[in-house]
Amino acid sequence: MSNELLVALISLSGVLVSVFVSVLISLRATNTELQKLRTEIQQTYTNKVLEKRIETYPALYCLLSDFAKKSWLKTFSQNEINSLYHDTNKWHSKNSILFSAQTNVVSYRFFGVLRKLKNKEWSSDNLHEFVNGSLAEFELALKSDIGIYIVEFSDPEKRFHTHTDIASAITKQTNAVNE
């Protein structure tokens, strides 16, 4: 092999290695930028959903809270149960698309129990269960969806995995205080 050909092959291999390394670096940079763009889009979307939840959830929370207070004071009637059913269903039809998956499950249970109460299948015991169970869990799910975790327990190390865990702990704590 002649020296010129050897020099040309060495030069060509250097150029090929250089092009290969440049392509790899460019691909890595492009992937990094795409990942940043995806993250930015997700953050924008998440912020928009959160803003809309913060705008709409308080109205539903207020309905739930007012009903709970009336039941605690034993100043509710069948009309109030019917009103809660009507008002929460109306809100649900317009805004439930904003629910997280977990809040959607909680709302399904809530509306199942509320439907029974509306159909006059209630007593003071199951109304108490409803308020301290399904309704309280729904309130916590709404709070969770908008990032409010103001639940204080005597054990600061206590950790919860679901809304059900929190509702159960609150019910136990409420029952302990009432006894």
DSSP 96: G
More confident residue, 41 or 172: 41
The answer to whether residue 12 sits within a structural domain is no
> What is the rounded average pLDDT of the residues 123-151?
82
CA dihedral of 57, 60, 64, 66, whole degrees rounded to 10: 100
Q: What pLDDT is recorded for position 9?
A: 82
Q: What are the pLDDT digits (tens) for 101-123?
A: 999 999 999 999 999 888 876 67
Give how far the C-alpha of residue 138 lies from the chain's centroid of Cα atoms, to the nearest Å: 11
pTM: 0.67
Q: Report if residue 18 sits inside a domain.
A: no
Q: Provide the token pair at 55.
A: 């705008």
Q: Could you tell me the two tokens for 86?
A: 């009507």
Tokens of 134: 């399904």
Residue 162 included in any domain: yes
Tokens of 25: 């670096």
* Highest mean pLDDT: which range of 90-94, 116-120, 172-176: 90-94
- Structural domain tally of the chain? 1
Q: Give residue 15's pLDDT band: very low, low, confident or very high (50, 70, 90).
A: confident
Within a domain: residue 161?
yes
Residue 104 lies in a domain: yes
Q: Picking from 16-25, 75-84, 156-165, which range would have the lowest pLDDT averaged per residue? A: 156-165
**Own/partner pairs, 167-172, CB within 8 angstroms, 24+ separation:** 167/133, 167/136, 167/137, 167/140, 170/132, 170/136, 170/140, 171/132, 171/133, 171/136
Q: Left, alpha or beta for 53 (phi > 0: left; psi -120 to 50: alpha)?
A: alpha
- Percent of the chain whose pLDDT exceeds 90: 40
> Is residue 129 over pLDDT 60?
yes
Specify if 29 maps to a domain: no
Q: How far apart are CA 91 and CA 165, in angstroms?
A: 26
Looking at the predicted structure, is the pLDDT value of residue 179 above 70? no
**% the chain with pLDDT above 70:** 79
Residue 36 lies in a domain: no
Collapsed DSSP state (helix, strand, coil) of residue 100: coil
Mean pLDDT, the chain, rounded, equals: 83
The residue segments making up the domain with residue 78 are: 55-178
pLDDT attached to residue 167: 62
